[in-house]
Structure 1
Amino acid sequence: MEQSKQLSSEQPLRIDIVSDVVCPWCVIGYRQLAQALEQTNTEHEIHWHPFELNPNMPSDGQNMREHIMEKYGSSKQESDASRTRLKEAGSEVGFEFNFNDDTRMHNTFNLHQLLHWANQQGRMHDLKQALFSAHFTNNRNISDNAVLADIAAEVGLDRTEALAVLEEQRFAKEVRAEEQHWQQQGIQSVPAMIFNERHLVSGAQGVENYVNILEQLATMQE
């Protein structure tokens, strides 16, 4: 959970974000929202929740370009154009996408278990951001439990315990239950952002639109 450092007697804005680490628009959307929160000086708390883009993905993942072409019927030219758009959108919010021919798509069930564990220690937000960078910027193999444990250690979590969480599938039941909860709420695509547990905003809306949304919510709270 990320909590605002602003001090206020008012109730902070609760923001639940349902997302997946391998969803590029999830990191773009979050960063757009973060800029809007800063611009509007909005006191807030963020809660991350799991969603799997590819629950049937093999445990060792798949080449990303092959996966996108199979899933959406995209041509190589369309895939290249999409990557260019993502790089430009990422650059606008200070996030670097480094795609190459070996970039892979991953099964993220283990990542969500690791994030669930990190949340118990107040480090879920930090780990989520580190996983976004590991996957999209640094092309690390997040299908490898040892790599995931390394990333956990890099944000200050215990590496041995992280590895045990993954190998034991310690939070499989809890993650499945939470995924099902959000699906039952009608969440079928991500990012999905729920403000004050009432107002759903889907997709990466852009900084200006998020500013407008935050200002409208502030007016409603007055």
Structure 2
Amino acid sequence: MKNSDQPLQIDIVSDVVCPWCIIGYRQLAEALKDTNTAHEIHWHPFELNPNMPAEGQNLREHIIEKYGSSVQESNESRTRMAAAGADVGFEFNFTDDTRMHNTFNLHQLLHWADQQGHMHDLKQALFTAHFTNNRNISDNAVLADIAAEIGLDRAEALAVVEDQRFAKDVREAEQHSAQQGIQGVPAVIFNGRHLVSGAQGIENFTRILKQLAENPD
């Protein structure tokens, strides 16, 4: 395997309410650790449901409406996701009250956190808040609490989502991804050139990383 002084650039387009985004990231993280790959991760916004009302919607109702799934199919999907999460050390706690959320404010908060070097930490905290702890991430006060829990200023975090100061930046980032042809998440781009879609599994990500190490271009 060739050694390179340059860390692998990894851009991940994802949404916090996308279960396969956290599963895919955890799979990738395991592969990065197993291959001892030097890397830099940059997260980019994507909204699964940009037209979702601010208060969100019951998740099961949303899935049935959006995909035409039956309750049984919804339950089977949740079981699959929970098992895939457990395989990479992430806990899903789906309940009858689990909700789908509009994530535009989340992405603005993440953009702000990125300016302070804390986007990755906040992204992980938001995944856990939503999927493990069923916190109401439609509530700006809850978002500010989560930011404070990872060491960011709560009052400033609340101001960011209330005054929408980064709305334009997030929209532009979303449009850039759309122009690159990204229509679903997770989308992982290695070194700005190699696009991999979906949660590939640890073995596949490991194989991809080894191929990139051999042929970085």
- 1:49 maps to 2:44: yes
- The one-letter code of the counterpart of 1:143 is S
Determine the structure 1 residue equivalent to 2:199.
Answer: 204
Determine the structure 2 residue equivalent to 1:129.
Answer: 124
User: TM-score, normalized by length of structure 2?
Assistant: 0.98
SS at match of 1:221: coil
Q: Identity over the aligned pairs, expressed in percent?
A: 79
Please report the RMSD computed on the Cα atoms of aligned residues, expressed in angstroms. 1.0
- Pairwise CA distance, 1:171: 0.2
d(CA) in 2 for partners of 1:203, 1:117: 26
Determine the structure 2 residue equivalent to 1:14.
Answer: 9
User: TM-score, normalized by length of structure 1?
Assistant: 0.96
- 1:66 maps to 2:61: yes
Over 3 Å counting, the alpha-carbon distance change for 1:52 and 1:213 in structure 2 is same
d(CA) in 2 for partners of 1:196, 1:100: 39
Gaps of 5+ in 1: 1-7
d(CA) in 2 for partners of 1:110, 1:170: 10
- Pairwise CA distance, 1:22: 0.1
- Pairwise CA distance, 1:221: 3.0
- Pairwise CA distance, 1:165: 0.3
d(CA) in 1 for partners of 2:190, 2:115: 22
Gaps of 5+ in 2: none
- Select between 9-18 and 154-163 the one with higher mean Cα deviation: 9-18
User: Which of residues 139, 142, 166 in structure 1 aligns to 2:134?
Assistant: 139
User: Which of residues 31, 34, 37 in structure 2 aligns to 1:36?
Assistant: 31
- The one-letter code of the counterpart of 1:145 is N
SS at match of 1:90: helix
d(CA) in 1 for partners of 2:21, 2:124: 11
Determine the structure 2 residue equivalent to 1:4.
Answer: none
- The one-letter code of the counterpart of 1:64 is L
- Pairwise CA distance, 1:9: 6.6
Number of equivalences: 215
- The one-letter code of the counterpart of 2:34 is Q
- The one-letter code of the counterpart of 2:157 is A
d(CA) in 2 for partners of 1:157, 1:9: 34
Determine the structure 2 residue equivalent to 1:163.
Answer: 158
